[in-house]
Amino acid sequence: MVEVVGSNPIVPTINFILLDIRMPKITLPDGGQKEIPDNSTLYEVARGISNSLAKVAVAGKINGQLKDLSVVIEKDSNIEIIKKNDVEGIDIVRHSFAHLIGHAIKQIYPSAKMAIGPVIKNGFYYDIDCEKSLNIDDLSLIEKKIKDLTKQNYDVVRKVVSPKEALKVFSEREELYKQEIVHEIPEGEEIALYYHQEYIDMCRGPHVPNTKFLKHFKLTKVSGAYWRGNSDNKMLQRIYGTAWDTKEDLDNYIKKIEAAEKLDHRKIGKQQDLFHFQDEAPGMVFWHSRGWIIYNILKGYIRDITLKNNYLEVNTPQILDRRLWEKSGHWDKFGDMIFTTNSEKKDYAIKPMNCPAHVQIFNQGLKSYKDLPIKISEFGLVHRNEPSGTLHGLMRARQFVQDDAHIFCSENQLSEEIKNLIKMTFSVYKHFGFENISIALSTRPEKRVGDENLWDKSENILKKVLSENVDSFSIQDGEGAFYGPKIEFSLTDSLDRVWQCGTIQLDFSMPSALAATYVDESGNKMTPVMIHRAILGSIERFIGILIEHYGGNLPFWLSPEQIMIVNITDKHVEFAEKIEKVFKDNGFRCTSDLRNQKIGYKIREHIIAKIPYVVIIGDEEVSSNNISVREYDGTEHKLISVSEFIAELSSKK
Catalytic residues: 355, 384, 402, 404, 406, 486, 532
CA distance 587 to 566: 19
Contacts of 405 (CB under 8 A, 6+ apart): 306, 311, 375, 376, 377, 378, 532, 533, 534
Closest CA to 394 of 254, 504, 294, 257: 294
Q: Is 466 left (phi over 0), alpha (psi -120 to 50) or beta?
A: alpha
Residues facing 243 on adjacent strands? 217
Query: How many CB atoms are closer than 10 A to CB 157?
Result: 14
Mapped onto helix, strand or coil, the DSSP state of residue 325 is helix
CA distance 594 to 564: 10
Cα–Cα distance, 443 to 455 (Å, whole number): 8
Instruction: Determine the straight-line distance between the first and last CA of the chain, rounded to whole angstroms.
Output: 91
> How many CB atoms lie under 10 A from the CB of residue 312?
14
Backbone angles phi, psi at 92, to 5 degrees: -65, -40
Residue 615 amino acid letter:
V
User: How many CB atoms are located within 10 Å of the residue 269 CB?
Assistant: 24
The DSSP code for 347 is E
Residue whose C-alpha is closest to residue 575's, from 629, 536, 614, 623: 623
* Letter string b/e over residues 503-519, b meaning 16 or more CB atoms within 10 A of that residue's CB: bbbbbbbbbbbbebbbe
Cα dist from 540 to 187, 278, 287, 503, whole Å: 46, 16, 10, 16
**Strand 498-507 relative to strand 486-492, pairing:** antiparallel
Q: Is the bond preceding residue 110 a cis peptide, omega within 30 degrees?
A: no
Sequence-distant (6+) residues with CB within 8 A of 66 are 59, 60, 82, 88, 92, 205, 206
Rounded (5°) CA angle 13-17-23: 150
